[in-house]
Amino acid sequence: MDRVSPRLLLVEDDDHIRMSLRWALEDEGYQVAEAASGEDACRSVATAAPDLMLVDLMLGAMDGFQVIREVRRAHDLPIVVVSARADTHDIVAALEAGADDYVTKPFQVKEVTARLRALRRRAGGQGGSGGEGAAERPTELVLDPDPVAPLVLRPERGTVHRGQDQLPLTLTEFRLLCELAANAGRVLSRQALLERVWEHGFFGDERLVDVHVRRLRTKVERDPSAPTLVVTVRGLGYRLDPQ
């Protein structure tokens, strides 16, 4: 755990669950702030600047989906969903709203804290984890040399630019792009990406990869409906093809 305890915002409307989770998370070294509603959560993110957020989906008037979308408008802090809603549609919708990971109830607190630790490690070093093709770490990678608006990845600086505009990638999207770029031209399976980007493949679900690839494409592809940079290799996984 970091010397400075990470600040975590816990968004849960059930008082008993919220209190139990808070005690368990504080035992793990987190500074925990609570929010019992979606509206309170958005205010807390704006005023308290947490390092991570743990959010339930069923919150009342402003549900977890709305909270995640609102937070993502201006913040890229890691977000983990904890919810009893285990339906594939709900999980995918939460990820597409901007969540980095999810845990379904009932769960073990150790599973939640393992995922939070993985997110903290990723936040501490944004660059890719370094696959076989990452022996050298160039400071700048031109992924699309478009003469008007080239796509440039700078792993050490944690930025991606399309022309003069910095793209608003989340931490997970950035890590995913770095991992694919470090292995440009190679096919990476979904399981390999889970292990390298999420760092807990034995917990993960391949839907995490598919949803984040779709989100990444909306930001880096010239035409997300016909991707040419991050391509799907049917039955195998994904490959990054620099243009």
State yes or no: cis peptide before 106, omega within 30 of 0. yes
Half-sphere exposure of 167 (CA within 13 A, CB side): 26
- State the amino acid at position 241 in one-letter form: D
* pLDDT given for residue 137 in this prediction: 56
CATH 1.10.3730.10 is held by the domain 7-124: no
What pLDDT, on a 0 to 100 scale, did the predictor assign at position 90? Answer: 86
At 149 the pLDDT is 93
**Does the pLDDT value for residue 153 go beyond 90?**
yes
Would you state the pLDDT for residue 170?
A: 85
Question: What pLDDT score does 55 carry?
Answer: 95
Share of the chain above pLDDT 70, in %: 89
Digit-coded pLDDT (tens) for 110-152: 888 888 887 777 666 555 444 444 445 567 899 999 999 999 9
Tell me the pLDDT tens digit for each residue of 197-239: 876 654 557 888 999 999 999 999 999 999 999 999 999 999 9
Quick one: CA torsion of 125, 127, 133, 136, rounded to 10 degrees? -80
* Residue 34: pLDDT band with limits 50, 70, 90: very high
Q: What is the pLDDT of residue 132?
A: 44
Asked if 184 and 133 count as a contact pair (C-beta separation under 8 A), the reply is: yes
Q: Quote the pTM value.
A: 0.73
Average pLDDT of every residue of the chain: 86
Mean pLDDT in residue range 61-83: 91
Q: What is each CA distance from 57 to 37, 80, 83, 118, in whole angstroms?
A: 10, 11, 6, 22
Residue 2 has pLDDT above 60, yes or no: no
First to last CA, the chain: 40
| C-alpha distances out from residue 130 to 34, 64, 126, Å | 36, 33, 11
| Mean pLDDT to the nearest integer, 69-80 | 90
Query: Which of 3.40.640.10, 3.40.50.10860, 3.40.50.10420, 1.10.10.10 is the CATH number of 141-240?
Result: 1.10.10.10
Residue boundaries of the structural domains of the chain: 7-124, 141-240
* Position 41 pLDDT exceeds 80: yes
For a pLDDT cut of 90, what percent of the chain falls above it? 51
Answer yes or no: same fold for 7-124 and 141-240. no
